[in-house]
Structure 1
Amino acid sequence: MLAILYLILACVTGFVFLHALFPKAFLENTSGQNMIWVAAPVSFGFGTLLLTWLLYILAYFFHTTMKVAKPLVPANIVVMLVSAAVVCLYFFLRMKKKDLRIPALVQDKKLFIREAVLYGVVLIFVAVSVFHVFFATKDGTICAGYTVFSDYAPHVSMIRSFSRQANFPTQYPFFGGSDVKYHFMFQFLTGNLEFLGLRLDLAYNLPSILALLGFLMLATQFSYRLFTSFAAELPVPALFFFRSGTALFQFVFEHLRDHDLASALRQNETFLGYTENENWGLWNYNVYLNQRHLAFGLLVAAAVIWFFLFYLDKSCADNQAKHLQWFADRWTMKSAWSFEDPLRALLLGILLGSATFWNGAAVIGALLILCGMAVFSDHKLDYLILAISAVCVSVLQTHVFIKESAFKATFYWGFILDEPSLFGVLVYLGQIMGITIVGAVVLQILLQKRQVRILIFSFLLPVVFAFTMSLTPDVTVNQKYIMIAAAFLSIIWGGVLAALWKKKAGGGRACMVLLLVLLIANGLYDFRIILVDNGFDHSYHVDLNSDVTAWLSENLTSDDLVLAPNNYTFHEVPMSGIMMYQGWAYYAWSAGYDTEYRAAISDAIYSATDSHVVDALTKKEGIDYIIYDDSGKTLNDGETPICEDAIMEVGKLVYTSKDLCIRVYKVG
């Protein structure tokens, strides 16, 4: 299939990129690692990033300049031919020079088999969970589980704006006729895969699985690199999937007291939570099932950090100097400021910055972690080159896609706590993340290995950012920075668990088991909720073969602005990828759009009894079509009636659904 070919070409192109520009990254490996587990995910991440941006730029050009109605056709042809030609040319030139050396990607066969089994289990777990929450049935019904469907509404709408429409210049489908403030490139990738022939759920799930598996491959290899033990790798995926936290223990205590624990655990079908919004699944694996682009952003972030870990390795090689003297040397010695590999730093910065519209939070998180590493590393100018290039590429994208900046950085102390204090923040972190983050602060003091302590400090910086800064109207979205920190800290906790397991005497293994329970028990119960609150009987259904979706997709374009009922979320109308004047307000509001004004205009049109009001407002706002839905008789206030008569006088009826429920009027 063409979609699979596209992904294969992305991976091969990414490998050629690594092989050509970063050969030392493999040759510098001295820990006996099987670098195939690094090369594979990094090749997928960087290759997909490069090919998909090239595809987007070409599709944009073909549609806006060449006026091609379906720009993904020529864009895909060019991208696939060019990528295949580049790969063939590269290896041809290497053959001509008799230099086809490829670094030994498998150095320890016994370890390779163990790791292959581990990654096979992770792959099965990720694939099953991803398809459990989002899948299509044989009759063409797409199902989104109860724990994830809310965010899927704008995501699927954006996907369909590329696979069914030509969304160039790109707009936000739930706030059409404006710019796009929300990172959308993962949805563009998915839309292209659907355009190339994959069914919607496959197009969305397949890259999600590869991205999540890829990040966990890198995370486990980080752990092996730091602790030189497969035992350190083994628990990392479990620590990632199953969060620490206190909600389960509090729930158990309460129901033990009430003598109904067994029935309460069995009957409960919602995420446990005693802090604000915790019962949304805000801190568990559900976030990655919901926000698919976050895993891809983490993959790119981890890949960039991996290459800069070489700088920290060399800086920490001097084990003789005492801490204060060693730290002073990192700022006063010539090596502290000399260049190591400025070209590599520049390219990695460009790649990291290019991920901004895949997931901006992951880019910011990566820059924060790299900033922490730079404080203690030599070759700080390389870090500076990376940071400047990443920020420049990010700002360039922002100016292209956003008319008014969506990023208004302001100091905001306390995240979502009502009365935050330093002690209150620590207690809150303990509640939502158990010992994962608070315990890491203790590890930073207790552990002896300098490199590990520096990484703990660096991994905690996104948490500091989450509690001190706000970039969007909804500060709740800062939870991604805490999740990013927890994901990287799982690398360290894997090493701690392995070290305890090796201490057979003195109760080391008993301590390891207790610590593991504290780290994953809450997340295991969260995962039970993911299992029981999704699936066919616990999901919202939309007919992929809906006549409404088909008509809108075939007869409207991204240039048409459509007024639709603003209570649509996971619905057959947004499934067409059309540009709605305003969909469900939260999605657009949290992305930085002025939803109050459009909500008022929408209500005024739908409630108008005077056709002149409808005519004047639709012309003023540039609305081309109005959708009337019999399923809603009143506005969101539940009292003001919706009137179709004035709309009928102004507009021309151009479509009526088979069930006669939905009618589309052409206005203007």
Structure 2
Amino acid sequence: MLALIYLATTIVLGACVCRRFYCFNSWLHYLAASFLVGLVLSTWATYLLALAFAWSSKPLVGANVLFFLLAVLAIYNLRPRSMFDPTLSRFRPAGSTVWDAVFIGAFLVAACYLMFGTLWLKDGNVKMAFVVWNDFGPNLSLVQSFAVGHNFPTEYPHFIGPPIRYHFLFWFQAGNLEFLGLNMAWALNLISVLSLLAMLILLMTLGEALFNSRAVGRIGASLFFFPTTLSYAPFLRSQGSFSRAVDAVKHLNHWLWSGYSYRGEDWGIWSLGIYYVQRHLTVATGALLMVLIFVVRRYRDFSDNETKRSPSTRVVKPKPNALPKTAPDTLPDDATRSESLAESTTEMGSLSAPTRAKQEPAFTKQTLGGTLPGFVFSGVLLGLLPMWNSAVFVGAAAVLAVLLILFPLRLQMLALGVAAGMIALPQLIYLSIDGVHTPKLLHWGFTLPDPTMWNVTKYLAFTFGYKWLLIALALVFATGLQRRMFLALSSLILVAFSFQFSIELLINHKFLNTWVTLINLFAAYGLCQLWRARVIGKAAAVVLTVSVTLGGFIEWFRIHNDTIVDVPFRQNRLSDWLQANTTPKDVFLSDRFILHPILLNGRRIFYGWPYFAWGSGYPTGPRDVLYEQMLTEKDPSKLVHLLHQNGIRYVAIDNGIRFGFLKGKLNESVFKRNFERVFEDKENRFGALTIYRVPGSLNDGADLREIKRQALAKSYPLRRVAEESLEASDDELQEDNAGKDLTAR
């Protein structure tokens, strides 16, 4: 219940804030913006308050209490009644509200299927689709580190020690909602569904605002669910017959791939899977859409004003009952709408640069004061994104930099950029602190092995397929505003192929994912233009619709047929023991498993799956050496010193370590003889896991036998240590340095 109250509070807070800066195309636009603004602001506030309570055992208690108090105070001061009276545009294009509801209802069903169908809890286990299993390793670990752990200041669960270098606020909020009462799956899935739905509503709104067509918005948002490369062509051709092709599609269990050496295809980087695996993308993309909608509306307002100022080529005699200059605000909707529609064909973009410069009015205090707050707030909103998704923030910076050049209102756009930069820069510095893998910034070619211009062109043509034809058609009919927006969005392609922001180049695919999500609106506009033609045009529209959606449609079967992975979570003996006998600050030396049960219980491991830490720029090389050294060191004194030096409280050895790359070198016998065994997986549910407690100090070696006798007297399962270990202790003590021993902490 508290979690739902928290979400309701975030929406109300978002509504009270964003209505002060934005005008909305519709109530749906208003609700989507309210949710995203409220989510971003509330998450930041709760996290910063939790940092202030880092000294307490449960920082989220104080953080949420203070958040509710501050949120209620802010809502009261912002006049909550006003949230039921947002400023709505009077110039919406014609369209059916019923069709809007049908599309959004379908989007909601699809979003629930993707999110709840790939992650749920049952019988104490986490059940997840194999597609999400890999990426959810660090992400679910982050969620649990906040929900049942103590990750303040925040560290990366798979690389404990340095500050976190990964955008984590989406996963923090999921952990916070779990802390407030939802189970892990519901906490994560609920904000995932709401974020995706809000993003799609905003995508519809941008299509409506940019192309003056509600149909373009609906179609563009629908194309999101069917991302298609040309990989379906070789896949279908290889089946040999129609019946075999149908059967292959029905039983598909892998992403379509081209047959070229394009890295990432088998991971589904061009598939819908990206958005239900990397769920934090939707919040950041939604925020970018909000800002683009705002900029488009401000451009149209500016263009309308300039059109009215421009001298007409026609001589029009004023009528005796002509309205005064201040009349537009009181004109009937039909009269003002005609001016708005005429703007799309008489834009400032058709003027030459010198003429435009002459006609641009000097900014007065009134015009600047009336438009500047919205731009500054938009900059603040974007500036809060690096901790949500740094790639989308960088992409947004590129898009807005081009808009600064191509659009008017440059002073306001500059204010937007300055506000975003001032807030984002400390986050970017924080995320890059202590990084050892700092790649060169300029890198041409994305992941292509031979990135000639021809190969890059071929790659883009194959990856986005027939969508290019629709985009080209859209640009033929586009206005100056729409072409400027296309150029700005295309900067995302340039960023993806020209820069390297991480040691893992493949991460640049997020720029292209964002680009294709937004550029779907141009493809939708091209389809609408074709449909307006006669029979041939309608037939071409149908053929091209199939061509740009067929691959995505086929991959829905891959999503449906995905293997379900069971991961032990709660309601088991290991979970009960961890919660009862360890603290969230305890660090375990364990197998480098992606989803270790220790992580899912909010505890820390010294070193998790190396790929994630390596991709984030952590120094994995030295840690590999240290990890192996601690699991192969045969001298008990040196071993304990190493463990203490690295803050390790427990050592967890299972079959993953016993039969992994350390097979034949593992020092488990040293742990058996000298360490207290505190947990043993007799049922072999966790890979025959045995957990040893690290002794607290090195003192007089004469007490080693007594330590082992005390351990045997307790209820810990010490399998096979027994008397032969005690007798062997005398020989070991003679070999130890001056008879040092280990005393249990």
Superposition TM-score, scaled by structure 1 size? 0.90
Q: 1:86 aligns with which of 52, 74, 96?
A: 74
Unaligned runs of 5+ in 1: 27-32
Contact 1:653 1:666 in 2 (8 A): yes
Matched, 1:9 2:9: yes
- Measure, in 1, the Cα distance between the counterparts of 2:457 and 2:267: 21
- Measure, in 2, the Cα distance between the counterparts of 1:240 and 1:445: 20
Change (3 A) 1:407 1:379: farther
Deviation at 1:88, TM superposition (A): 3.0
Deviation at 1:447, TM superposition (A): 3.0
Matched, 1:38 2:65: no
- Measure, in 2, the Cα distance between the counterparts of 1:469 and 1:52: 30
Contact 1:329 1:336 in 2 (8 A): no
Equivalences for residues 61-76 of structure 1 within 5 A: 61-63=52-54, 67-76=55-64
What SS does the aligned partner of 1:178 have?
A: strand
Equivalences for residues 465-476 of structure 1 within 5 A: 465-476=495-506
Change (3 A) 1:306 1:313: same
- The equivalent residue for 1:604 is 629
Matched, 1:226 2:210: yes
Contact 1:561 1:580 in 2 (8 A): yes
Instruction: Spell out, residue by residue over 1:585-642, the C-alpha distance to the aligned partner (whole angstroms, 9 max, x if none).
Output: 11111111111211221112212333234223223323232211245413336x4442
Contact 1:345 1:385 in 2 (8 A): yes
Instruction: Spell out, residue by residue over 1:543-572, the C-alpha distance to the aligned partner (whole angstroms, 9 max, x if none).
Output: 332332343345444533321111x11231
Contact 1:444 1:457 in 2 (8 A): no
Contact 2:492 2:512 in 1 (8 A): yes
Matched, 1:655 2:684: no
What SS does the aligned partner of 2:585 have?
A: coil
Matched, 1:160 2:144: yes
Matched, 1:419 2:450: yes
Instruction: Spell out, residue by residue over 1:151-208, the C-alpha distance to the aligned partner (whole angstroms, 9 max, x if none).
Output: 0010000000000012100000000111100000000000000001101110000000
Higher mean C-alpha deviation, range 269-278 or range 248-257: 248-257
- Measure, in 1, the Cα distance between the counterparts of 2:484 and 2:607: 47
- The equivalent residue for 1:119 is 104
- The equivalent residue for 1:59 is 50
What SS does the aligned partner of 2:238 have?
A: helix
- Measure, in 2, the Cα distance between the counterparts of 1:286 and 1:543: 24
- Measure, in 2, the Cα distance between the counterparts of 1:582 and 1:600: 11
Instruction: Spell out, residue by residue over 1:203-225, the C-alpha distance to the aligned partner (whole angstroms, 9 max, x if none).
Output: 00000001110010011111122
Matched, 1:539 2:565: yes
- Measure, in 1, the Cα distance between the counterparts of 2:670 and 2:361: 75
Change (3 A) 1:603 1:393: same
- The equivalent residue for 1:394 is 424
Matched, 1:625 2:656: no
Change (3 A) 1:360 1:555: farther
What SS does the aligned partner of 2:127 have?
A: strand
What SS does the aligned partner of 2:224 have?
A: helix
- The equivalent residue for 1:382 is 412
- Measure, in 2, the Cα distance between the counterparts of 1:198 and 1:491: 36
- The equivalent residue for 1:175 is 159
- The equivalent residue for 2:231 is 247
- The equivalent residue for 1:133 is 118
Equivalences for residues 188-587 of structure 1 within 5 A: 188-256=172-240, 260-274=244-258, 275-314=262-301, 317=304, 325-327=351-353, 334=360, 339=368, 341-400=371-430, 403-404=433-434, 410-436=441-467, 438-439=468-469, 442-443=472-473, 445-503=475-533, 505-534=534-563, 538-566=564-592, 568-587=593-612
Deviation at 1:122, TM superposition (A): 0.6
Higher mean C-alpha deviation, range 489-498 or range 309-318: 309-318
Contact 2:226 2:550 in 1 (8 A): yes
- The equivalent residue for 1:29 is none
Change (3 A) 1:375 1:550: farther
- Measure, in 2, the Cα distance between the counterparts of 1:414 and 1:658: 52
Matched, 1:143 2:172: no
Change (3 A) 1:392 1:104: closer
Deviation at 1:435, TM superposition (A): 3.3
Q: How many residues align?
A: 644
Amino acid at match of 1:620: Q
Instruction: Spell out, residue by residue over 1:456-511, the C-alpha distance to the aligned partner (whole angstroms, 9 max, x if none).
Output: 111111111011101111000100000000000112222222222222x1511111
Change (3 A) 1:358 1:78: same
What SS does the aligned partner of 1:358 have?
A: helix
Contact 1:335 1:379 in 2 (8 A): no
Change (3 A) 1:608 1:337: farther
Amino acid at match of 1:495: Y
Contact 2:229 2:270 in 1 (8 A): no
What SS does the aligned partner of 2:388 have?
A: coil
Amino acid at match of 1:45: L
Superposition TM-score, scaled by structure 2 size? 0.81
Contact 1:173 1:577 in 2 (8 A): no
Change (3 A) 1:387 1:336: farther
- The equivalent residue for 2:38 is 47
Amino acid at match of 1:43: S
RMSD (Å), alpha carbons: 2.7
Contact 1:542 1:570 in 2 (8 A): no
Contact 1:175 1:580 in 2 (8 A): yes
Matched, 1:636 2:635: no
- Measure, in 2, the Cα distance between the counterparts of 1:580 and 1:491: 45
Amino acid at match of 2:545: L
Higher mean C-alpha deviation, range 314-323 or range 381-390: 314-323
Amino acid at match of 1:595: T
- Measure, in 2, the Cα distance between the counterparts of 1:332 and 1:461: 29
Amino acid at match of 2:105: G
What SS does the aligned partner of 1:520 have?
A: helix
What SS does the aligned partner of 1:103 have?
A: coil
Larger Rg: 2
Contact 2:395 2:492 in 1 (8 A): yes
- Measure, in 1, the Cα distance between the counterparts of 2:419 and 2:211: 32
Higher mean C-alpha deviation, range 180-189 or range 571-580: 571-580
Deviation at 1:264, TM superposition (A): 3.6
Deviation at 1:100, TM superposition (A): 8.0
